[in-house]
């Protein structure tokens, strides 16, 4: 009789633990589904998704950084991403201005001895700067992805501090 009671008691304890574990897992999944973030790319640009809503990243990720405010490590990574994005933007402006200057000088009726060489060097330098700008922007997106990963890790682990605006 004592063995039967002991077995029943052990079975009840086991079921209670399994049931509470399942409830905890469901709560984590609900939290993850509603609060987790991921970066979304499409033909119109880069966005982030939270709670099944597609939201704009903002200039240099400014909207995303507000979402990540509760995670210290995600914020550090986002600051790196913003610096890279700003560098890419500045280099892109230089590339565009060199390309426009070269085009204007080629179209203009002004004659000077090295017109063709100047145009070719401007096109080449513009293309190189555009490639560097693209590299910075891709690096910034990689850092943003890492920041989002760190945020989601902190969300699931319970280390996320809720910050309200």
Residues 140 and 98 in one domain: yes
| Percent of the chain residues topping a pLDDT of 70 | 81
For residue 4, what are the domain limits? 1-35
Residues 151 and 87 in one domain: yes
| Residue showing tokens 């009726």 | 109
Res. 5 pLDDT band, cuts 50 70 90: low
Q: How confident is the model at residue 136 (pLDDT cuts 50, 70, 90)?
A: very high
Report the C-alpha gap between 17 and 31 in whole angstroms: 21
Q: Which pLDDT score is estimated for 30?
A: 80
pLDDT value of position 165? 45
**Is residue 21 domain-shared with residue 86, that is, in the same domain?**
no
In sequence order, which residues have a C-beta less than 8 Å from that of residue 115 and are 6 or more positions away? 105, 106
In this prediction, residue 4 has a pLDDT band, given cuts at 50, 70 and 90, of low
> How many other C-beta atoms can be found within 10 angstroms of the C-beta atom of residue 132?
16
Lowest mean pLDDT among 23-32, 63-72, 87-96: 23-32
Residue 7 inside a domain? The answer is: yes
* Residue at 52 is within a domain: no
Greater confidence (45 vs 91) lies with: 91
Among candidates 149, 153, 152, which has minimal Cα distance to 141?
A: 149
Q: Is residue 58 part of a domain?
A: no
Residue 54 maps to a domain:
no
pLDDT attached to residue 9: 62
Give the pLDDT band of residue 36 (cuts 50, 70, 90).
confident
Identify whether residues 148 and 81 lie together within a single domain.
Answer: yes
Q: What is the pLDDT at residue 105? A: 80
Would you state the structure tokens that stand for residue 108, as one six-digit string? 């203009």
Q: Which of 129, 127, 122, 59 is closest to 94 using CA atoms?
A: 129
Asked if the structure places residue 51 within a domain, the reply is no
> Does residue 13 fall inside a structural domain?
yes
Tokens 């605006």 correspond to 165
If asked whether residues 101 and 150 sit together in one domain, one would say: yes
Mean pLDDT score, 76-83: 95
In a domain, 57, yes or no: no
pLDDT digits (tens, 9 = 90+) for 143-164: 999 999 999 999 888 887 765 5
Query: Given a cut of 90, is residue 108 above it in pLDDT?
Result: no
Do 92 and 151 lie in one domain? The reply is yes
The pLDDT assigned to 134 comes to 96
Q: Are residues 76 and 2 in the same domain?
A: no
Residues 153 and 72 in one domain: yes
Q: Tell me: do 74 and 146 sit in the same domain.
A: yes
Examine the domain organization and report whether 87 and 19 are in the same domain.
no
Using CB atoms within 10 Å of the CB of residue 16, give its burial: 0 to 12 exposed, 13 to 18 middle, 19+ buried: exposed
Q: How many domains does the chain have?
A: 2
Residue 135 exposure: Cα atoms within 13 Å on the Cβ side? 7
């Amino acid at each position: 009789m004592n063995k039967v009671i002991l077995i029943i008691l052990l079975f009840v304890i086991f079921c209670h633990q399994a049931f509470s574990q399942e409830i905890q897992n469901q709560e984590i999944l609900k939290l993850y589904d509603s609060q987790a973030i991921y970066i979304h790319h499409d033909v119109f640009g880069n966005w982030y998704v939270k709670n099944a809503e597609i939201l704009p990243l903002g200039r240099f990720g400014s909207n995303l950084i507000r979402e990540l405010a509760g995670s210290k490590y995600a914020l550090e990574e986002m600051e790196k991403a913003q610096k890279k994005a700003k560098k890419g933007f500045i280099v892109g402006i230089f590339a565009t201005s060199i390309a426009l200057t070269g085009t204007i000088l080629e179209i203009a009726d002004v004659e000077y001895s090295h017109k063709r060489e100047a145009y070719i060097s401007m096109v080449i330098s513009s293309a190189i700067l555009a490639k560097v700008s693209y590299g910075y922007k891709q690096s910034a997106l990689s850092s943003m992805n890492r920041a989002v990963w760190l945020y989601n890790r902190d969300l699931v682990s319970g280390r996320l501090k809720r910050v309200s605006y």
